[in-house]
A and B are shown apart, each in its own frame.
Chain A
Amino acid sequence: MKLVRIFSAAVLAAFMLLICGCWDDYELNALFIVTGIALDSSQNPSQMDISVQIAKPHPSSEGKSDSENEPVILMNTTAPTMSDALSVFNRNSNRTLMLQHNQVLLLGKSLAEDNIIKHLDLFMRDQETRMEVLVMVVDGRAEDIINAQLEQDSISGMFLARLITDLTTASSHYQIRMIDFVSRLLDESVAPIAPIVSLKENNGKQEIVMNGMAVFDNERMIGQLTNDEVTGYIWAMGDVSRGEVSFSTEWGTAVLNISSLTAKREISFDNEKVQVNLSIKAQLHIGQISGFKYISMEELMAHLQTSAEQAIRDKIMNSFEISKTLNADIFGFGRSIYRTYPSEWKKIREEWETVYQNLELDVNVDAHIATTGQITDSLEMEEGKSAD
């Protein structure tokens, strides 16, 4: 009897393992691999223009002439929501749309400035849409980017993904995925940002260029950073492993390459004022110098070091000032305060916007020039001779 009970328990347990399984089997030639989605504002304010970019499969057994065909399939429609658009696309295509490999979510600037959060629900809720998808704002119409015929990569969605991957080797803060974007959105103090791209015509060829970053408040896009200001933001965040510091002084101009740059935050409270001490440690090496004609090597190094420190500080302060005018805490200082001083944060969270306006940032840069590259002094330098 006991044996029977054990057997039946084992059989039931085995059934538990066997009654579930993966149900969504699709053959690859029954799928359309979506590589980009573009959302644009439509003429009708309750609707939006939605375009998807699909990588077009090419039968490999056929001749080469086929590969010269269109690399992508574009589908567009106007619908009130993304879900509606997807059902329209699925109705009108002979294959199922597969969103797992979607590379970018492009938001047209007008849509972004109107309202963004109401469109994000599907991208977070659905299992097929990944939180790793890159979020970008397009200066202009987003569908233009998706339609772009690029020389570098036949699929513009893949191009943008690779562009960001390349930038990520310099700093991970260039990469704004859906998950980063949303977590910033959910945080009460931190302002979400997203890279801005735009389409450019150059000698009749289309190019996609990066134009800084868009800054959002809790609902919509409120302003933008230029590429220079983005650099300041990236440096303030630390964790940089590539990049250049360029400056010119009265003796010459120099470009120093960053081999590593780290930032450390310390927060102190002075009455009602919040002070953030940002100490930056930078490892640099000389990339290119011109000028500095009558200066010794030791002097030059000391000079470059102080100038580089100044240049880094200036850039960070510049970005900080911009963020103050937008009143958007892109650096996440609020989050840092919450993490280190939770009790203090409770006091200031209500009036964080005014606190941020009065926030004092003190940047200490400690730059170290490690090497001069393959040569020491430049061709122009005539060491030892005086200027006279």
Chain B
Amino acid sequence: MFLKYFIRKLQYITGFRKAVRTPEETHKEAHWKPEETESGTSEEKEKEPMKAELKDNLGQLLDMLGNSNDVKKHVFRFGPDNTLSGALVFIDGLADSKTITDAILRPLITTRMKGLASLKGENLLDAVSENALFSGDVETVESLSELAAGCLSGDTALLLEGCQAGLIISSKGWEKRGVSEPQSEAVVRGPREGFTENLRTNTSMIRRKIHHGKLIAEQLTVGRKTRTGICLMYLDGVANPDVVKKVKYRIENLEVDSILESGYIEEYIEDAPFSPFSTIGYSEKPDVVASRILEGRVAIVVDGTPFVLTAPMLFIESFQSTEDYYVRPLYASLVRILRFIAFFIAVFGPAVYIALTVFHQEMIPTTLLFTIANAREGTPFPVFIETAIMVITFEILREAGVRLPRPVGQAISIVGALVMGDAAVSAGLVGAPVVIAVSLTAVSGFLVPNQYDAASMLRIIMMILAALIGGYGISMGFLGLLIHLASLTSFGVPYFQGLSFSRNLEDAVVRMPLWTMVKRPKGIAYHDITRRRFFIPPLRPHQDEDGQKEN
């Protein structure tokens, strides 16, 4: 499988293959049909028309829902002289009982509409939905499977005696977590709300940032078992329609069983599944997602997770923090340059230390060399082993700290600080410079959280290269890394765009003032690429005064 990927990569590099799979190719590759799955049988059921008798329909619907304990049915009589009978089916916990009583049951039972009793079939359903129900979202469906799907997503199914169709009445209302400050992307300045696990809440939070009719939200359902709701959001006219089509195509053609988190989607649709670098961005903050949508990206909101995916993703995106745009540009640029340096340290820090102390001692200033030599004196392991021990120890401590509940996690960090910082050195197990190098590397890695996983993997590769062939190995590794990065694409957009010397430089290594960013990033934005028509700096004090005089 890996070999296949590698060959495809080579084909791409040598120009024998396009960056993105064409629909035909994907179809060919993924051309297998689920032979004996229940989707086949449900299709058959779908074709089966509904019966006229309430009892039959109800029994069949309950059968489809599995007669579970939390499936509630309620049979009632209504209409003039209670001549009509109907049944409500909903799932306890998903449907809001208050809505069911106030908007469905009460108006139905209390309705005294004339001539209701004489209506039959479709007409009766229409009359009920139009005249009786107090609900804004009612849909007439003619198959039981649709009714079942409605029930499973929290709506209420209404069946009436003598009707070969049913109503799905919106009554979603389940327990959900409120909007709170995101754990993974804390800011000093900027909005503090984060996405929740609820799809609708998330889409509404994005809509609250972009009040524009061209913000399109397309609903998809993926996963044979989970039936997870997915919402694509993009700005029509700004997002590249090709990218939208690609994203949609890839998601629609997923033959998957379950989608539990946006990570599932990411893994299934990303361009480079074996690359250490992710080619799809994610964020927990609506303002970040909104800004990416405004640049022409497509947001993929997945139900059940507070992480929203954005595509296409550029390498530079990992270095752009949302706060960069909320603080003034000079400081933002400084911090961004710092992030680049930190990422370099995070990947190459231990490798450079190994190469310098093992191969290129002459490159270390003499006094520093004495210090390092004194620290190395009496330590039992070679530099590579020593560094590897510390790097692995750090990863163990980090993993332990992340997974454990917070009170225990603190104990871990105390133990870690003692073990790593002090005991290992004073016991003569490792030298103090290694501790400094590794801890600097570890801290640097956290400055670019989106690429943390890539950095910690590449770090080990670079360390091995440095231990084998020194600084030459590091430069080879760096070269290989650059080639790999330059060959990556995300939904047809080169991954390195924005770092090359031609395009979108106003928001790359430095963050220029907002008023200089006249255009949306080229290559991502498609049609409406102008943010501001002119390159207008803010008014200076004297210009302000002139303006007032004119008024």
Contacts and interface: CB of A to CB of B under 8 A. Distances in A.
A103 B366 contact: yes
A21 B473 contact: yes
Nearest to A162: B367
B377 interface: yes
Contacts of B109: none
B362 A28 contact: no
Interface in A52-66: 55, 57-62
A6 B14 contact: yes
A58 B377 contact: yes
Given A24-B359, A25-B470, A31-B373, A59 B378 contact: yes
Interface in A23-66: 24-29, 31, 33, 35, 55, 57-62
Between B10, B370, B379, the greatest number of chain A beta carbons within 10 A of the residue's beta carbon is seen for B370
B469 interface: yes
Contacts of A33: 361, 366, 369-370, 373
Contact of A25 (B10, B359, B376): B359
A375 interface: no
A22 B366 contact: no
Contact of B373 (A6, A20, A29, A62): A29
B280 interface: no
Contacts of A31: 361, 373
A28 B357 contact: yes
A1 interface: no
Given A18-B476, A33-B373, A26 B432 contact: no
Contacts of B476: 17-18
A361 interface: no
B17 to A, nearest CB: 11
A60 B375 contact: yes
Interface string A90-107: 000000001011010000
A28 B468 contact: no
B380 to A, nearest CB: 10
B26 to A, nearest CB: 23
B63 to A, nearest CB: 58
A26 B358 contact: yes
Contacts of B16: 3
B481 to A, nearest CB: 14
Contacts of A22: 355, 359-360, 469-473
Contacts of B373: 28-29, 31, 33, 55, 57
B372 A28 contact: yes
B378 A26 contact: no
A7 B377 CA distance: 48
Interface string B344-365: 0000000000010111111000
Contact of B374 (A7, A27, A57, A161): A57
A3 B11 CA distance: 9
A28 B354 CA distance: 11
B428 interface: yes
A263 interface: no
A158 B357 CA distance: 20
A349 interface: no
B420 to A, nearest CB: 16
Interface in A157-174: 158, 161
B460 interface: no
A27 B376 contact: yes
B437 interface: no
A29 B372 CA distance: 10
Contacts of B378: 29, 59, 61-62
A147 to B, nearest CB: 19
B68 interface: no
A7 B10 contact: yes
A335 interface: no
B22 interface: no
B470 A27 contact: no
A21 B374 contact: no
B433 to A, nearest CB: 10
B428 A61 contact: yes
Interface in B447-502: 468-473, 476
A324 interface: no
B358 A25 contact: yes
Between A17, A28, A35, A57, the greatest number of chain B beta carbons within 10 A of the residue's beta carbon is seen for A28
A130 interface: yes
B469 A21 contact: yes
Contacts of A21: 468-470, 472-473
Interface in B1-34: 10, 14, 16
B383 interface: yes
A7 to B, nearest CB: 7
Contact of A61 (B358, B367, B425, B473): B425
A292 B468 CA distance: 73
Nearest to A61: B428
Given A21-B472, A22-B469, A59-B378, A28 B361 contact: yes
Interface of B: 10, 14, 16, 355, 357-362, 366-367, 369-370, 372-379, 382-383, 425-428, 431-432, 468-473, 476
Given A58-B377, A61-B427, 8 more contacts: A24-B359, A25-B359, A27-B376, A28-B358, A33-B369, A59-B377, A61-B425, A61-B428
Q: Which 4 A-B pairs have the closest CB atoms?
A: A21-B469, A22-B470, A100-B362, A59-B378
28 contacts: A18-B476, A20-B472, A21-B472, A22-B355, A22-B469, A22-B472, A22-B473, A26-B358, A26-B361, A27-B357, A27-B376, A27-B382, A28-B369, A28-B372, A28-B373, A28-B383, A31-B361, A31-B373, A33-B366, A33-B369, A57-B370, A59-B378, A60-B375, A61-B378, A61-B426, A61-B428, A62-B378, A130-B362
